[in-house]
Amino acid sequence: MSHCQFVWLCLGIIACCHGVAWAGPKAKGVKVGEVTYANQDYKLLDTFEAHRLTKADEVFAKGDYKRAISEYDSFVLEFPQSKALAYALLRKARCLHLDNKRFEAIKVYREVLEYFPNVVNYAAPALFFSGQAHWENSDNDKAVAAWAQMAADKEYSRHPLGAVAFNELGDYLMQQNKTEDAARYYQLVAVNFRTVNPAAANYAIEQAVRYFVRVKMDEPALREFYKTVKTFDGNPKAIEGEVEANRDYWNRVMGSVRRYAQFPADQAALKDRYYRSWADAMEGKFTAWDDFQVDIAGLRLESERDVAKWTQRLDKQFSQFQKTGDNTRVMKWMQLFKENKAKVVEYYGKLEFGRMSNAQLIDLLRMAYGDLKDPSMGQSVFNRIPLSQLPDAEKAGLARWLARAAPDLVKPVCLSIQDKELGQFELLTFYAGVRDDKNALPLADALGGSPTYAAKVALIKADLLFTIGRYEKAIPAYQVCDNPPKNLWRIAECYEKLGKLEQAIGQLREVENFFKDYSAEAAIRIASVYHRAGQRVQYIAALRAVMKKYPKSGPSSSAHEELEKLGVQTGGGVDAGE
């Protein structure tokens, strides 16, 4: 597009934007930073100028915009011939803008453009930010006009903020269904601002890809764009060989086709054409690349809605490239056909179990009980796993997984662990998890003297007794646990569950007095015990005690809120029980 055509496009935007509702800029993934005065330019200022300008910038950086305005005004008055005058005016406008005085800011932006139109480093931002101020004022017409003016100017359009303006215009045109014109802006940013403004360029690349994939469905144009911008990565990269044979390119194309394939119900015909178009574009490429061919088959299925043809394609792909002993690939096809029981069984029959590693057998076991939801197949696979050959750590991990998927298989795995204490501990963990106290408690007692597992076993036993409601036995079990104050919290809960409030509160007092980091928490728990017991007077006194003893703590804030809910004054009061 020539510069003349570009200018006419921008003028057309200005003309057509009048009276059109528009959502406005959405940041485009770009945080628009502040324009600063370049260090090399600072060196050209005299000492007094540099000092005053530095002082103004420091005030600006602190966010004290009212004072900063005064500082920049003083600079302008004191140094009317300064080379930094355009910058100072721009900064004054930014102060007004950031202080939400947008109409005044727009006037100062205009001063920059009127008096310093050729100082591009500051005039271009003034034009960009004036558009932003118009948008924030809900004056969308003027906002679009400002950005279009920026885009039409050869010098202004090269400024990094020009990339943001172009993206704004591209989005505006997309919303007006002027997709081809919008795509020109996106491509312009993607190509010209790849290193100058990478964030804006990456946004533009994403939008251009969406245009070529979803709107235009034009693979050759997308391929040329990929080549022009040197991949769709965040950083441009040299492309080796022809794009046509580039796996990265086609992988990204497939991902984009999937990502942009959202169609409302009334666009069924367009959806079919979309999938058919991209399947045609990819047909015959990388025939030995299973994942790619499976995806193409998926595109065909979306457009044809013929499961039989999809099945035939996958069968053909498998048979064409299957190698002897490639059990991983067979398992992949079982996964693909997981909704078709007959096909799963068919491919299960293709497995060469004599060539399968233990790792593959375990993967197959997980698949059977997982995605395939076939316990009988899972049992069959389990019977083929040579447990004696597996390391103890691997068997322990398998037992934990089976605890959720196939509980009946946990015990034989645990019993096969050569380290008998480890096997007993894993089995105890399983029984405790399913609240099987009949089997768990004897195991806990057997492991109670183990130097390796005694501490963990004590806590598992105590937690199990608590969980099944055997509070009297849980108390002494927690007392031997060496993890205060966690075990002490539980002991207090046990006493409360048994209706022994004095003992519960006494236990919490112990925590409050001897574990200073948890004192406030213990105090609020005392209040909660009274609350659950329906003892209102003691509850209120305990809440006040929390506020009095631990005024800066989180529990104190909670106590204050509770007292307000009760309609009770928060002042005064003594500790409950004192």
Q: What is the pLDDT of residues 119-137, one digit of tens each?
A: 999 999 999 999 999 989 9
pTM: 0.75
Short-list 198, 191, 184, CA closest to 228: 191
Short-list 76, 88, 73, CA closest to 126: 88
Pick the range with the lowest mean pLDDT from 5-9, 92-96, 238-242. Answer: 5-9
Q: Can you read off the two tokens belonging to residue 371?
A: 């995605």
Q: 578 falls in which pLDDT band (50, 70, 90)?
A: very low
**pLDDT per position as a tens digit, 10-58:** 434 433 433 333 333 444 444 567 899 988 888 899 999 999 999 999 9
Whether the CB-CB separation of 286 and 293 falls below 8 Å is answered with yes
Amino acid sitting at position 170? G
**pLDDT per position as a tens digit, 494-509:** 999 999 999 999 999 9
Whether the CB-CB separation of 528 and 562 falls below 8 Å is answered with no
Contacts 24+ apart (CB under 8 A), 93-98: 93/126, 93/129, 94/34, 94/35, 94/60, 94/129, 95/60, 95/65, 95/66, 95/68, 95/69, 96/65, 96/69, 97/129, 97/132, 97/133, 98/63, 98/65
Which segments of 322-453 does DSSP mark as H helices, in order?
327-336, 341-348, 358-369, 375-384, 392-405, 410-415, 420-433, 437-447
- Please report the pLDDT score of residue 32 as a whole number: 62
Contacts 24+ apart (CB under 8 A), 322-325: 324/352, 325/352, 325/355
Q: In the predicted model, what is the mean pLDDT of the chain?
A: 91
Rounded Cα gap, residues 245 and 237, in angstroms: 16
Angle between helical axes of 268-282 and 290-304 (0-180°, round to 10): 150
- Please report the pLDDT score of residue 154 as a whole number: 87
71: Cβ–Cβ under 8 A, 6 or more apart, which residues?
52, 55, 56, 59, 60
**pLDDT per position as a tens digit, 275-316:** 999 999 999 999 999 999 999 999 999 999 999 999 999 999
Residue spans of beta strands (DSSP E) within 445-500: none
Whether the CB-CB separation of 311 and 331 falls below 8 Å is answered with no
pLDDT > 90? residue 6: no
Rounded Cα gap, residues 314 and 333, in angstroms: 8
Question: DSSP secondary-structure letter at 265?
Answer: G
